[in-house]
Structure formats: structure tokens, C-alpha cells
Amino acid sequence: MQEIAVHAPGELDWASLPADIIVQLHWRWSLNFETLLCSHGFQPICVIRHPIDVLISILHFCAFAPQTARWLDGAGGDERSIVDAAPVSREFSDYCLSERASQLLAVSVDWTRAGNSGGRVPVIRYESLVSDPVRTLASLLDEISLSPVVALEEVVAEHTLDRFREGNTNHHFWMGQPGLWRQLLPAETAKVIGEKHQGVMEALGYVCDPDPALGVAEAERTWEMISQKQRRT
């Protein structure tokens, strides 16, 4: 199947899309949007991830991809304030508590609620994809009534982070490590962020359980080590 990533529904020529295509799109649920998808034969699938891991991922990615400002058509602001910031910085803390962060994290909640209210929207946990990709994919395919054309073990073996990094220029394929936020955010900072997004946490089934022993200096060293590794690759 062909794959395409866009920032907004209006960027697609819906009438000209091929029959077999996967579209990656970070966009809030609405009845009109779901109706549009269904009218063109799309099966929505929602991938969720720990909200604080999502914020750390945004912090990393925005340094290499200024087009993040186009996410959700700029709802709530943009990522300019955290470009080249560190997780322990005031800039990042302020961003995590901002309306922009709330808007971005709400997307997953919207789609999970759409599925829970009777819609056919399978939800996949990022953490499950990492820990047991074959079983997670098999469960997804069963839920949407599709059968793999090749062994899923082969698919997983061919789609590793190292392979995706080859030729990639925007550093989109980074650590692939669930729970990374617990190594980068001291407990006091993490708890404030977790309280801000408690509703999202509860809706998605996550908890804010930071490492109580992690200090600011250690968190900074870990971030610097990760950043140096990124610069080398």
C-alpha cells in the first residue's frame, strides 16, 4: 500500500486518492471528519502513547522539523519556544503546560472516545507495538478483518529503527523507547505536567509515575548524552 503523511485534511485531493493507501494524519475527531473518512472507504486506526513521552518526542522533533507549526493548523500556538531547549528547562515546562500541548494531546482522547461510543476505531498502544509487535499487529488485523499477506515476523524484521533511519533527514526515527520521560524529567517537574494533563492520562489509561530518585543534574546528563548520540548519527 502507498503511504502519505499530511498535516490537514484539506491537503488531500480526496477524489483522486488510490484505493490502497495509508494516510498518516494528526487531526481531531469530529463527526464530519469521520464521515469524510468513511465516505472514501478509510478505516481509522488510532495509535496512542504516554502523553509525557509524546511531549518529549515533540521536543526532539521540532528542532529538525519547523513544519510542526502546521500541526492542527497551529491550534494553541507552535513549537518555536522549545527549539533546542532541554527537558529540564523552563521553556519546556511552560510549553507542556500550554494550550498548544493540550490541543495536541487531545487528539488521541478524541479518537479513543469515538471508538468507545460505538465507532469502529481500533486503538493501538505504542508501548505494545514496541514490546510485542507481532502479537499487537495480529490483534489489529483481526479487529479490522484483514489477513496478512506475509508472515508478521518478516514484516517486523524488515521495519526496524535502524532501517528507517537510513536516508532519513528529519530525525523522525529517534529512540523508540517507551518511558524515556522518566529518565529526563525530575519528579517535581513531571508531577506538575502530569497534573496538568491528568484528564488525558486517565482517558488513555496512563499514570504519571516519575523516578523519585532522578535529580536535575542526572536528567541533564542523560539528555546531553542522547543529544550527542543524535548529532553523531
Q: Taking residues 123-136, what's their average pLDDT?
A: 95
Give the 3-state secondary structure percentages of the chain, helix then strand then coil, rounded to 5: 55, 5, 40
Interval 148-199: pLDDT, tens:
889 999 999 988 877 877 766 656 767 778 999 999 999 999 999 999 999 9
Is the model more confident about 119 or about 220?
220
CATH of the domain at 140: 3.40.50.300
Residue 33 lies in a domain: no
- The answer as to whether 28 is a domain residue is no
3-state SS, residue 2: strand
Domain range for 123: 43-232
Please give the backbone phi and psi of residue 220, each rounded to the nearest 5 degrees, phi first. -65, -40
At a CB cut-off of 8 Å and minimum separation 6, what does 223 contact? 86, 87, 88, 184
Q: Is the pTM of this model over 0.75?
A: yes
Please report whether residue 11 resides in a domain: no
pLDDT at 231: 54
Chain CA centroid to CA 216, Å: 25
Q: Which of 221, 206, 214 has its CA nearest to residue 185? A: 214
pLDDT of residue 162: 79
CA dist 86 and 216 (Å) reads 11
Residue 29 lies in a domain: no
**What value, to the nearest 5°, has the Cα angle with vertex 148 and ends 138 and 128?**
25
- What cell numbers appear for 123 in the block? 486503538
Alpha helices by DSSP H, 40-186: 51-61, 90-96, 99-116, 126-131, 133-143, 152-158, 161-165
- Grid cell locating 90: 523552563
- Residue 221, domain member (yes or no): yes
- The answer to whether residue 25 is domain-embedded is no
pLDDT at 133 over 80: yes
- What pLDDT sits at residue 169? 64
Model confidence over 94-124: pLDDT tens digits?
999 999 999 999 999 999 988 655 567 899 9
Distance CA 229, CA 231 (A): 5
- Residues above pLDDT 70, as percent of the chain: 93
Residue 3 in domain: no
Query: Which residues are CB-neighbours of 78 under 8 A, at least 6 positions away?
Result: 68, 69, 100
Helix/strand/coil for 93:
helix
pLDDT tens figures, 27-76 = 999 999 999 998 999 999 999 999 999 999 999 988 888 889 999 999 99
Please give the helix or strand (H or E) that residue 46 lies within, else none.
strand 46-48
- Determine the pLDDT at residue 165: 73
CA 222 to CA 184: how far, in whole Å?
A: 7
Secondary structure of 114-153 in HEC code, one letter for each residue: HHHCCCCCCEEEHHHHHHCHHHHHHHHHHHCCCCCCCCHH
Q: What is the pLDDT of residue 85?
A: 95
The reply to whether 59 falls in a domain is yes
Domain count, the chain: 1
The separation between the first and the last C-alpha atoms of the chain, rounded to the nearest angstrom, is: 29
The pLDDT > 90 percentage for the chain reads 74
